[in-house]
Amino acid sequence: MKVEKEFHRIADFIAEYAVRLMGSGVHTSRVVRNTMRISEALGVVTQMTLLHKTIIFSIHDRESGEVFSDVVPVKSFPISFFLNSELSSLSWAALDNHLSLDEIERRYKKIVDTPRINHYLLTFLVACANGAFCQLFGGSWGAIGIVFVATVIGFSLKSFMQKRHISHYVVFVLTAFLSSVIASSALLFNATPDIAIGTSVLFLIPGVPLLNGVIDIVESHILLGTTRLVSALLLVMCIAVGLSITLAIVHNGLVLL
């Protein structure tokens, strides 16, 4: 039989584990499956209600019959496929190898404390990817270079504002505007400016939330899936607003092409 202190430790860890998954861009059914495996490995039964900003837990100890319930806020973390993969692997390891709570917590801390990719390397890779999009859509080499520079500056501005906890909507509008304004310099060189401007904001598209929203709806998590889709579409609208401001400024130049 688990003592009360140990049971509450288990409950707190399960809550932290689920919140970390939700906040790192994992779709709902995977959060549920992974959390259930951790719960089974620790000898408890967990019932969960997942919402966009909160998770409601009810955790039942099979041995003592004690029940612990809590409402935990979902924190926002950077989207991480590494965490997605490693935390899923941890749930399987805990279940298959009958790991103790101490060992699970040790491995969990090691995973979440893993250093993120270097910011400058990440900025470079994002800019390369956006430049590749420009080429894919038929942009000239001059446009590719301009989009690369626009992405570096836009992504840096986005990171700067997010670190200061500025509203996501403001961040997306300003970043889309700055990136597209810089890309509009392709007009000066006649370097396929329409393609340069259009592809300069593609790095902002919230692909993971859009995909997770669709997956959630398909897997019958209708409420959360709809919420995720609406949130993602609002960000897309913010991108459109920023891009529209640029188009309003450079409209005459594009029409003359």
pLDDT digits (tens, 9 = 90+) for 175-214: 999 999 999 999 888 889 889 999 999 999 999 999 999 9
Looking at 83, 112, 141, which one is the last position of a domain? 112
**DSSP string for 18-46:** HHHHHHTT--HHHHHHHHHHHHHHTTEEE
Kindly indicate the confidence band of residue 2, based on its pLDDT and cuts at 50, 70 and 90: low
Q: Which candidate, 32, 69, 30, 62, places its Cα nearest to that of 45?
A: 62
Altogether, the residues listed in the chain come to a count of 257
pLDDT tens column, 47-83? 999 988 999 999 988 777 788 888 999 988 888 889 9
Q: Are residues 36 and 105 in the same domain?
A: yes
What is the pTM assigned to this prediction?
A: 0.87
Identity of the residue numbered 170: V
229, 183: one domain = yes
Work out the average pLDDT over 92-120.
92
Domain end (from 112, 142, 160):
112
Q: Is 26 in the same domain as 135? A: no
Say what the pLDDT of residue 63 is. Answer: 78
Q: Are 98 and 42 in contact (CB under 8 A)?
A: no
Q: What DSSP state is assigned to residue 219?
A: T
Q: Are 82 and 156 contained in the same domain?
A: no
Is there a single domain that holds both residue 227 and residue 123? yes
Q: How far is CA 3 from the centre of its chain?
A: 37
Rounded Cα distance, 52 and 146, in Å = 38
- Residues 126 and 239 placed together within one structural domain of the fold: yes
Find, among 64, 9, 66, the residue nearest to 38 by Cα.
9
State how far the Cα of 171 lies from the Cα of 240, in Å rounded to an integer: 13
**234 and 125 both lie in a single domain:** yes
- Considering the domain architecture, whether residues 217 and 152 belong to the same structural domain is answered as yes
pLDDT of residue 67: 87
- 168 and 245 part of one domain: yes
Residues 124-164: tens digit of each pLDDT: 999 999 999 999 999 999 999 999 999 999 999 999 999 99
- Helix, strand or coil, per DSSP, at residue 220: coil
CA–CA separation, 195 and 174 (whole Å) = 20
- Number of domains into which the chain is organized: 2
Whether residues 66 and 141 share a domain: the answer is no
Q: Are 48 and 35 in contact (CB under 8 A)?
A: yes
Residues 124 and 251 both lie in one domain: yes
Widest distance between CA atoms in the chain: 79
Q: Are residue 90 and residue 134 in the same domain, yes or no? A: no
Domain span including residue 141: 119-255
Using the 3D structure, point to which of 112, 146, 173 is the last residue of a domain.
112
